[in-house]
Amino acid sequence: MPPRGDVIEEARRQWRERWGDEPVPSMAAVTSIMRAQQILLARLNELLRPWDLTFPRYEALMLLHFSHRGSLPLGKMGERLQVHRTSITNIVDGLERLGYVTRVPHEHDRRTTLAEITDAGRRAAVEATEALNAARFGTEPLDDDALEALFETLLPFRAKADAFDVEAAPRA
Amino acid sequence: MPPRGDVIEEARRQWRERWGDEPVPSMAAVTSIMRAQQILLARLNELLRPWDLTFPRYEALMLLHFSHRGSLPLGKMGERLQVHRTSITNIVDGLERLGYVTRVPHEHDRRTTLAEITDAGRRAAVEATEALNAARFGTEPLDDDALEALFETLLPFRAKADAFDVEAAPRA
């Protein structure tokens, strides 16, 4: 076996040589997050394959599963999941084809469409969650301390984008 | 201003109620990484807009910029960037349309196509890097300690997927 290198260690070296130490931590952290996300997404999509879910579809399904009425306007789903209108439309289309969601008109506002979780959608949500929980969401080999550190470190970064009105929060 | 909540804190509460403490750290870390990646990607693409680059295009361009000969086989680029063959083809198509890259046949193996960085590509690589460095790669408000912690914590997670043969590493 030849000695192994790491693409980001290599980038750090290149950066330090050309642009000095100052930008190295941000470049290395950002590239690490991008790469971790790619690896996680592949693992999660593989774990979710038995339900024909992808991780974005799973997140949307859980949002509905946890919502007070089992339904939410598409616009609000997009806000919560921080995805564009076209993306949430595609995600809900996919869930609808699978029979996990149906589109229903809003009770008081005909221009608003709600996505509503079906019984099959609730079963898939619970089963898929049990599979992800058992696989620790594909985070191997990270331990709980490392996982908590990631959550805590990213909290101030996410804070503004992920904040939402508590008034509008789903109630259990 | 109403009090603010956090979507992942909300998910932690829901998880703990239904599935106990055990899966909470992995769910929260994975969801945090996914959200951080979305926020970063939006900021980076905005910073890269003056060069018509996206972050995946920028990463591919830097790989060529740092390579020994200024060119690499598309297959090797895909391996290094951990993206599928079709993705790297699309990325190189985009860079070629911008005049940052040209496709050339491999000297010794006609079946292999190389992407080669152009002078305009090298200028864009340097200018875009200076912009990203100045903006700390969109990581505000995280400080260097937080950024180093992210890099270090994710290192064992990325280790296997990102390792490459040092033999094949680009030499400066």
* pLDDT tens, residue by residue, B4-28: 568 898 899 999 999 999 999 999 9
pLDDT, tens digit, 9 for 90 and up, residues B23-57: 999 999 999 999 999 999 999 999 999 999 999 99
- Judge whether A10 is closer than 8 Å to chain B, CB to CB: yes
Q: Model-level pTM greater than 0.80?
A: yes
Residue B87 has pLDDT above 60, yes or no: yes
Using the Cβ of A3 and the Cβ atoms of chain B, whether some distance falls under 8 Å is answered with yes
Percent of all residues in chain A with a pLDDT value above 90, rounded to a whole number:
77
Partners of B139 on chain A (C-beta within 8 Å) are 26, 29-30, 157
**Rounded distance, CA A21 to CA B76, Å?**
28
| CA–CA distances in Å: residue B3 to residues A117, A165, A166, B73 | 28, 7, 6, 53
Contact B150, A150 (CB under 8 A): yes
Average pLDDT in the A143-170 region? 79
- Burial-class residue B167 by CB neighbours within 10 Å (0-12, 13-18, 19+): exposed
Residues 65-84 of A with CB under 8 A from B: 66, 80, 82-83
What is the helix (H) or strand (E) element at residue A105, kind and residue range? strand A101-105
Q: Does residue B169 contact residue A9 with C-beta atoms inside 8 Å?
A: no
Spatial separation of the C-alpha atoms in residues A43 and B33, rounded to whole Å = 14
Which pLDDT score is estimated for B6? 80
Specify the residue for token string 């990646």.
B37
pLDDT given for residue B4 in this prediction: 54
How many H helices and E strands in chain B? 7, 5
* Beta carbons of B151 and A11 less than 8 Å apart: no
**Alpha-carbon distance B79 to B68, whole Å?**
17
Name the band, by pLDDT with cuts 50, 70 and 90, for residue B161: low
- Beta-bridge partner residues of A164: B5
Does residue B20 belong to the interface with chain A, where contact is any CB pair within 8 Å? Answer: no
> Cβ of A155 and B32 within 8 Å?
yes
ipTM (interface predicted TM): 0.90
The per-residue pLDDT for A4 is 54
Residues of chain A found within 8 Å of residue B170, distances taken between Cβ atoms:
10
pLDDT the model gives residue A160: 66
Cα four-point dihedral sign B95, B99, B103, B107: negative
For A73-114, write each residue's pLDDT tens digit: 999 999 888 888 899 999 999 999 999 999 999 888 888 899
- Vertex A12 angle, CA A11 and A17, to 5°: 100
CB contacts < 8 Å between A and B, how many? 229
Q: What is the mean pLDDT of residues A158-168?
A: 60
The predicted pLDDT at position B108 comes to 86
Averaged pLDDT for residues A23-36: 97
- Residue of B129, B162, B167, B171 to mutate when probing chain A, most A C-beta within 10 A: B162
Nearest CB neighbour to B26, from listed A139, A166, A172: A139
pLDDT score of A159: 86
